[in-house]
Structure 1
Amino acid sequence: MNKPRKAVRRKSSGVTIDEVAAHAGVSPMTVSRVMNGQGKVRDSTRERVLEAVRELNYTPNLAASSLAAAQHTRIALIYTNPSGAYLRELLVGLLRVASRTAVQLVVDYWDDLDADNERKSARALAKRVDGVILPPPLCESRTAVNELVRAGVPVVAIASGHFRDDISCVRIDDFRAGKEIAEHLIAQGHTRIGCIKGRTDLSASARRFEGFLAALDDAGIALDPTLVQQGDYTYRGGLEAASKLLGLRHPPSAIFASNDDMAAAAISVAHRQGLDVPRDLSVVGFDDTSAATTVWPELTTIHQPIASMANAAIDILLRGIRRKDANTRVLSDHVMPHRLIARDSVAPPPRRK
C-alpha cells in the first residue's frame, strides 16, 4: 500500500519587501507601488527603491493569489533578430523570475515573418499560452498585437518608446535618456557629434534620436545632416555607419550610438583607423548590456534595467491572468528609471592643430 505523499513546504530565505523598504527608507507600500508601476512615486524615491532592489537582489514574493495564478501558467517570450547582448540580459531576468515562481517560460523565435505568417503564428501561440512578452522589434508589431489581444491573451511590450492603448508596457523614458547622454558629450566640449540611429521601425529609436536633437537645440548647436547615419542595432550595422562618419572630410569628435552593439563597432572602426578612444574620438552607447564592458575602453552608456523590466513584465502578466473578468482589463504603463553610466570612452575633444 502506497503511503500518501506529504506536502513539502519550502522555506524561503529570500529578501522580504520590508527589508527593501527599510534599506530604501520608505514604506513597504511605496516599494509595492514602484514594483507594480502603480500610483504616483517621485523619481528620486523610485530610483532609491530600485537601487535597494538591485543591492539586495530582491524579487517580489507574489501573494498567494498570484502564486495560484502562476501555477501551470505559461508565458511566452517571442523574439526575432535581436541584439544578442540585449536578448541575454532579458532572458536572464525572465529565467530568474520564472525559477522563483511556478511560471513556465516558453521561448518562441519568429524568423522575420511577414504579416500573414505573424498573424498565423500569433493565433497558434494564443491557444497554448496564458500571456505574452514582446521585446523589440516585435513590441511594435501591430499584426501580432492585434491577434493576441483579439484572442484575449494579456500582452506586455518591453522597451517600446511609448505607451499604447491596447497592451501594457514596461519601458524607460528614451527621449530623456537620449537627451541626457547627448548633454554629457556637450558638457565635455563636443559640438561636432555624429549619431548612429537605431532601427526605423522602433519608436524607442525615434525617441532616442529626438532626445539627441533636443540636446543639440538647447546648446545652440545646428544639426549637420552628414553626421547622422542610419543603423540597425547590429554590430555590422554599426561598423558601416561608423566607417561613413569617420570617413568624412571633417569627421565628428564624438559618436552617439543608439545601442551598445553599434557603439562597440564604432570603437573598433576608430582603432582600425589608428584613432585613440577617447583622446581622438569619444563614443557613447545605450542599454548598458554586456557589450559595454567587453570593449576597450569600456563604454559610457545609458543603463536600462533590462532584468528588472523582465521581472515587472511577468508580474503585470500574472495580475492580468488572475483577473477573471476580461471586461475589466487594466493596462499598465510602467516607466522605469534609467542611469547614465560614465566610463572611459568619453573625454574632451582634441585640440585643433
Structure 2
Amino acid sequence: MARTDRPGRGATIVDVAARAGVSSMTVSRVINGRAGVSTQTRAAVEAAIKALAYTPNVAARNLVTSTELRIGVLYSNPSAAFMSDFLTGVFEEASARGARLVLLKGEGGRAPAVDALEDLLSSGISGVLLAPPLGEAPDVLRVLRDAGCVMATVGAYQSPDTICVRIDDRAASYQMTRFLLDLGHRRLGFILGNPDQAASAERMAGFYAAVRETGGVTVQVVQGDFTYMSGLAAAEQLLGASAPPTAIFASNDDMAAAVVSVAHRRHLDVPSELTVAGFDDTTAAITLWPPLTTIRQPVRAMAAEALSLLIAEIGLRGRKSRVPRERILDHELVERQSTGTLRPSPSS
C-alpha cells in the first residue's frame, strides 16, 4: 500500500509504483512518454499519479531522461579502513567511466532508512552499488527489487537479482588456518565476523576445515561483528581463559588490531608469546606494531569490478544480459611480523 502519511512530504515515484503495482522504472517510462508500456499499465500508473497528486521532480526527470550515468552507492560499514579502499576503487572506476556517484550512508552501522532509499530511487539513478553488509540486508534489497533497480554488491554471496563480486572466503580462511597450524600452534582462537554476513560463515567454515585435518587441536571461538570494539571484548575473553590460545585468527583486520592492543595491555609479546592474524589487508594491518599477517582481499579492485559490471548491466537493460552474475577475485596470504612459530613452554 502506498505511503502518503509522511508529514511534510509529498508522494514519491516509489509511492506511485506501489499503488499501481509496477516498478519505479515503469512509472518513469509513463511520465516520460516512452514506449514499451501497455495501455492497461499506463492507465493504472496515470490513475495512481492522479490519486496521489504526484508531481514529478523536474530535476530528477531531466536526469532520468538524460544519458548521464548516476550510480547510487550505499554503505554503512563500520570499518573506516575497509571503506577507504572500497570508495577509492569506486571513485577511480567512476571517473574512468564518466559516471556520477550519489552516496547514501546508513548511520550508526545501520542500513539507510526506507525514506532515504525512496528519495534516492526517485532522483533518477541508473543503478545501485552496495558495500557490505548492505548487499545482504533484506529490507534494503526488498526496496531496490520492488523498484526494479539494477544492483551490484561487493563481498556478498550470489543472489539472482544482483551482480556479486567477492573472493573465496572459505578457501582464504582455510589457507590462513593451515598456515598457523604449520607454525606449530595447537591452541587456536577464532573471532567470528558479523553473523548477518555470509562471508562470516564462510570464513568460519574454512577455519574448521583446516582444524579437522590436524589432530590435537583445541579451539576457542568467540563472536565479533567486524568492529574494533567487538575485537577488544573477544580478545579479553580469549586471553582471560585458563588455557588461552597461542594463536588468534580474527575475521578482519580491525578485530585483529584489537587483539594486538589487548595483548600489549596484558604484557604479552606479539608474536613470541601470542601469534595474531587478520583478514582484508587494509591500512589497519600496517599501521600498528607489529604489522599484521593477514589475508589480502583486493577491496579496491573488487569495488571497481563491481561498478564496471553494474555499468555494463545498465547498458544492456531491456536486452538479454550477458554480464556475469558472480565474479570471484584472487586473494593472497601476506606474512608479516605478527605471526611466529610456537615456542615450547610448560603451558604449551
* TM bucket, shorter chain: 0.7 to 0.9
CA–CA distance in structure 2, aligned partners of residues 302 and 265 of structure 1? 17
1:275 aligns with 2:271: no
| Cα gap change, 1:120 to 1:113, in 2 (>3 Å) | farther
Matching residue within 56, 61, 73 for 2:69:
73
TM-score (norm 1): 0.75
Match of 1:107 in 2: 103
Hey, what does 2:158 align to over in structure 1?
163
Q: How far, CA to CA, are the matches of 2:108 and 2:80 in structure 1?
A: 16
Q: Could you tell me how far 1:100 is from its partner in structure 2?
A: 2.0
Amino acid at match of 2:169: D
One-letter amino acid matched to 1:156: A
In the alignment, is the contact (CA less than 8 A) between 1:257 and 1:263 conserved in 2?
A: yes
How far off its partner does 1:177 sit? 0.5
Secondary structure of residue in 2 paired with 1:85 = helix
2:87 is matched with which residue? 91
Give the Cα–Cα distance (whole angstroms) in 2 for the partners of residues 82 and 265 of structure 1: 14
Q: Say whether residues 1:210 and 2:205 are aligned partners.
A: yes
Partner of 1:66: none
**1:139 to 2:135 alignment:** yes
Task: Tell me, in whole angstroms, the C-alpha distance in 1 between the residues paired with 2:159 and 2:77.
Answer: 23
Q: How much does 1:152 deviate? A: 2.0
2:310 is matched with 317
Partner of 2:186: 191
Alpha-carbon distance between aligned partners in 1 of 2:286 and 2:255, rounded to the nearest angstrom = 13
- 5+ long unaligned stretches in structure 1: 1-69
C-alpha distance in structure 1 between counterparts of 2:114 and 2:201, whole Å: 26
SS at match of 2:229: helix
Q: Which amino acid aligns with 1:220?
A: G
What fraction of aligned residue pairs are identical, expressed as a percent? Answer: 41
Offset, 1:314: 1.1
CA distance in 1, matches of 2:212, 2:310: 40
Give the Cα separation in 2 of the matches to 1:184 and 1:198. 20
Query: What secondary structure is seen at the aligned counterpart in 1 of 2:88?
Result: helix
Amino acid at match of 1:305: P
1:171 shift after superposition: 0.3
| Structure 1 position 197, deviation (Å) | 0.6
Structure 1 residue 150 displacement after superposition: 2.5
Q: Residues 1-353 of structure 1 correspond to what in structure 2 (within 5 A)?
A: 72-111=68-107, 118-128=113-123, 129-160=125-156, 162-224=157-219, 227-325=220-318, 328=321, 332-353=325-346
The residue identity in structure 2 corresponding to 1:151 is A
* Shift in Å, 1:71: 5.8
User: Quick check: 1:299–1:344 contact (8 Å CA) kept in 2?
Assistant: yes
Distance 2:196 2:216 in 1: 27
Distance 1:222-1:344 versus aligned 2 partners, 3 A rule: closer
Partner SS, residue 285 of structure 1 = strand
Q: 1:98 offset after TM fit, Å? A: 1.8
| Deviation, structure 1 residue 101 | 2.4
Provide the C-alpha distance between the structure 2 equivalents of 1:205 and 1:113, rounded to a whole number of angstroms: 17
Partner AA of 1:99 in structure 2: S
Q: Work out whether residues 303 and 338 of structure 1, in 8 Å CA contact, stay in contact via their aligned partners in 2.
A: yes
Deviation at 1:111, TM superposition (A): 2.0
Distance 1:71 1:194 in 2: 53
Stretch of structure 1 that moved more, 337-346 or 70-79:
70-79
Using the size of structure 2 for normalisation, the TM-score is 0.76
Mapped partners of 1:205, 1:216: distance in 2: 17
Equivalents in 1 of 2:188, 2:269: separation in Å? 16
Indicate conservation of the 8 Å contact 1:198/1:258, yes or no.
yes
Cα drift, residue 146 of structure 1:
2.3
Q: Report how many aligned residue pairs link the two structures.
A: 281
